[in-house]
Chains A and B, each alone.
Chain A
Amino acid sequence: MPDQDTLQDLVGREHAATGSDYSAGFVTDIEADTLPPGLDESVVRAISTKKEEPAWMTEWRLDAFRRWQEMHAPRWAHVRFPDIDFQAISYFSAPKGDAPKSLDEVDPELLRTYEKLGIPLHERARLAGVREEDMPEVAVDAVFDSVSVATTFKDRLADAGVVFCSMSEAIREHPELVRKYLGSVVPKPDNFYAALNSAVFSDGSFVYVPKHTRCPMELSTYFRINAENTGQFERTLIIADEGAYVSYLEGCTAPMRDENQLHAAVVELVALDDAEIKYSTVQNWYPGDDEGNGGIYNFVTKRGACLGERSKISWTQVETGSAITWKYPSVVLRGADSVGEFYSVALTRNFQQADTGTKMTHIGPRTKSTIISKGISAGRSQNSYRGRVRMNPGAKGARNYTQCDSLLIGEQCGAHTFPYIESKLPSAMVEHEATTSKVSDEQLFLCQQRGIDPEKAVSMIVNGFCRDVFRTLPMEFAVEAAKLLEVSLEGAVG
Chain B
Amino acid sequence: MSLLRVDELRVDVDDKTILNGLSLAVDAGEVHAVMGPNGSGKSTFANVLAGRPGYDVTGGTIAMDGADITELAPEERSHRGLFLAFQYPVEIPGVSNMEFLKAAVDAQARIRGEDEPSAPEFIGRARDAASRLDLDVDFLKRGVNDGFSGGEKKRNEILQMLLLEPRLAVLDETDSGLDIDALQVVAAGINAFRDEGNAVVLVTHYQRLLNYVVPDRVHVLTGGRIVRSGDRSLALELEEKGYGWLDA
Contacts and interface: CB of A to CB of B under 8 A. Distances in A.
A touching B, CB within 8 angstroms: yes
B84 A449 contact: yes
B241 to A, nearest CB: 35
B92 A451 contact: no
Interface stretch (A97-105, A130-138, A288-296, A461-469): A461-469
A448 interface: yes
B160 A450 contact: yes
A448 B96 CA distance: 17
A461 B54 contact: no
B244 interface: no
Contacts of B73: 448
Interface string B107-118: 110010000000
B121 to A, nearest CB: 18
A442 B88 CA distance: 10
Contact of A449 (B55, B78, B95, B99): B78
A3 B56 CA distance: 11
B104 A450 contact: yes
B1 interface: no
A332 B188 CA distance: 59
Contacts of B83: 449
Interface in B79-99: 79, 83-84, 86, 89-96, 99
Main secondary structure of the interface of A (DSSP, over half): helix
Nearest to B73: A448
A446 interface: yes
B13 interface: yes
B228 interface: no
B78 A467 contact: no
Contacts of A87: none
B120 interface: no
B53 A2 contact: yes
B78 A443 contact: no
B94 A451 contact: no
Contacts of B14: 2
Interface band, chain A? 20 to 34
A467 B74 contact: no
Nearest to B79: A451
B99 A451 contact: no
A461 B95 contact: yes
A443 B53 contact: no
Contacts of B50: 445, 449
B52 interface: yes
Contacts of B93: 464-465
Contacts of B54: 1-3, 5, 441
B134 interface: no
Nearest to A456: B103
Contacts of A6: 53
A447 B99 CA distance: 12
B78 A451 contact: yes
Given A2-B53, A453-B107, A446 B164 contact: no
A446 B160 CA distance: 11
A440 B95 contact: no
B100 A448 contact: no
Given A3-B53, A440-B90, A443-B90, A453 B95 contact: no
Given A2-B14, A2-B54, A448 B94 contact: no
Contact of B103 (A1, A441, A445, A460): A460
A286 to B, nearest CB: 29
28 contacts: A1-B54, A2-B14, A2-B53, A2-B54, A2-B55, A3-B52, A5-B53, A5-B54, A441-B54, A443-B90, A443-B92, A445-B52, A447-B100, A449-B51, A449-B75, A449-B83, A449-B84, A450-B164, A451-B75, A451-B78, A456-B103, A456-B107, A460-B100, A461-B92, A461-B95, A464-B93, A464-B96, A468-B94
Interface of B: 13-14, 50-56, 73-75, 77-79, 83-84, 86, 89-96, 99-100, 103-104, 107-108, 111, 143-144, 160, 164
